[in-house]
Amino acid sequence: MPLQSKHIQGFISKLDSPSVQRNMLRAIRHFTKYAAGAGLIDADPAVAVTRAKIRPRPAGSDTWTEEDAAQV
């Protein structure tokens, strides 16, 4: 059975965090692009794999008052 996008998607979805998933998918896409260009596989199965969404970080932080600093 050839490598299919559902195999890659299943592997990616089992990884811990969205950042790890995106990094692994990036590496897999480079590999499958090379394999398709070298004629090792007929089509690139990683193209149809969806990427995990990463939540944006909050913009800025609250300024500490002197009372906040004294509690630490």
Whole-structure pTM value:
0.69
Average pLDDT over residues 9-22: 92
pLDDT higher at 69 or 7: 7
Rounded (to 5) percent helix, strand, coil in the chain:
55, 0, 45
Question: How many Å separate Cα 9 from the centre of its chain?
Answer: 11
Residue 12 in this model has a pLDDT that exceeds 80: yes
Tell me what pLDDT residue 71 has: 84
Alpha-carbon span 44 to 69, nearest angstrom: 55
Distances (CA, A) of 60 to 21, 45, 54, 57, 65: 26, 40, 18, 9, 16
